[in-house]
Amino acid sequence: MIHVETHFQALLQQEDTDGDKRITIHDKGPKTYDLDGQTIKGTYALSNLLQELALAKEAQQTHLQIDPQALYEPPTQRISKAIKNRCWDGLTRKIDHPGMLTDPKMPSEPRLYIPENDQLAQHYYKNFPAQIIQLPQIITPEYVQSLNDKPGLLSLAIEEDGPLPYVVPGGRFNEMYGWDSYFIALGLLHDEKIELAKAMLNHQVYQIRFYGKVLNANRSYYLTRSQPPFLTRFLKAILKYSRQPKAWIEEVLRTAMHEYAHVWTREPRLTRTGLSRYYGEGLGQPPETEPGHYDSIANPTQEYFTHDRTVRESGHDTSYRLEDRAAHLCTVDLNSLLYAYEVDLAELLDQYGEIPGYPNSEVWRARARQRRQLLTQYCWDPAEGQFFDYDFVKQERTGYESATGLWPLWAGLATPQQAELAVQHATLEKGGLAAGSLKSRGPLNDQRPPRQWDYPYGWAPHQMMAWEGLQNCGLDPSGWAERWLRMMTKNAVDFNGVIPEKYDVVAASHEVFAEYGNVGADFDYITKEGFGWSNASYQIGLTYLSAAQRQGLDQLAVG
């Protein structure tokens, strides 16, 4: 039994030599501490002690009973437990108090926008202590632009007893993001938080019903912008973990078919090739961007901002793969996702029955065959052995090497030969799969600054989709997963348990100095949230490892 405040202050004074309220390998303390007669050694154990003391302080405990040996707990076990028992809770939100309306990107008075025909929301928020604004039934780009100086949160799904919860990507956010939510849900389902994952899918169904699409996020300035579509895979993931009522399954299927028809396979997102593109429909500069973001662009035009908004709809904001041409590209990633919709809908309709008034499973299978043929025709480069985005304006493949070139393996549309060649060309680094290659990114300078979705950076969704893609093709993903988890574990061991948004996979480091910082890397004493899809990638990644590989990761804390 130890006195919390005494040891908290003494430990910080001795070991936190750089004053950042953490104990890391950058600190120059002796790295050995006397805990009432027990000697605690090493950055990992000392940072774990700091974390336990911080939690006790937060719980207003004066004393803490602690087993010193627990401070040397195998790191894979400790990190995984922290994600399951603490981080998901730290990222969970519900629109049930005005503090939820704050937005660090665009500070303003508390403001909530509600769809015109959502009676439940209008009743629930009738006496809410914030400015409540009813949206028009038809939402145009001009209307959304008129809200730039009146930004606000958009309501999400409500049941009779109040708003449903959801998980945000990182601690600075209060809004729910589009494709982040699918990967977050994979982690939630793994950690037996099935109802929370289902609530997030319900929010996406709500967004399609009331806002016309799964939004980039539920903020007013995102109303014209979607994100990579994962609705059918989201449903299948939930069904893998739990039985669900047939009526609910049918509602999600109808919604997915509506989204497919009204968002992704009609103008402006359908192109003359028969493949689809991302397309950000807003007007002018995206208001949520950081000051100075466009300083390197000379006289940006509306066409430039259309491309820029399209980059953000793709989820890969930002990257030189897409810079100033995103709206001209039939991307491999989007069309792989739409192929997944087509095969998933065929499978689910076979399993749960056709839905009157909607295409049957044979129609979906025929659409999948057509998309596979088109994607191969336009995006597969047999000479290079890779899938590339297709520029339908220039009528040529871009040749830009990207981790998204592996998405056809995840979707199940690549042939065994294509898969083998694509894997050989992947930019696999010490810390895992890079977002793209150095050759494709090209040189950087003051007029061409680093972009966070390019080399040398790596991201959790690319890893998770690559692992699944390898497995789909009969290849072993454990080596790729081990690289990513080794980097994550080593950084957590050396840096007070950090689980951030992105990594430099070449240096195998979270100390990233690209645009937008690194959400999840800045905290005091203990990380309460990590970062959503990074958390999920750790939990899912562990399932790919052998016992020997996991034991190897646990050795990172020794010494």
Name the amino acid, one letter, at 24.
T
Nearest C-alpha neighbor of 92 from the set 402, 528, 559, 527: 528
Alpha helices (H) along 416-459: 416-424, 438-441
* Residues shown for the chain: 559
Q: Give the containing element (helix H, strand E) for 536.
A: helix 532-544
Q: CA distances (Å), 427 to each of 318, 434, 437, 444, 544, in order?
A: 18, 6, 6, 19, 20
* DSSP letters for 119-184: HHHHHHTTT-SSEEEEPPSS--HHHHHHTTTS--EE---EETTEEPPEE-SSTT--SPBHHHHHHH
As a whole number of angstroms, the distance between CA 33 and CA 29 comes to: 10
For 414, phi and psi rounded to 5 degrees? Answer: -75, 140
As a whole number of angstroms, the distance between CA 156 and CA 210 comes to: 9
Show which residues are catalytic.
317, 501
Judged by DSSP in three states, 432 sits in strand
As a whole number of angstroms, the distance between CA 429 and CA 439 comes to: 14
The neighbouring-strand residues paired with 93 are: 166
Rg (CA), the chain: 24
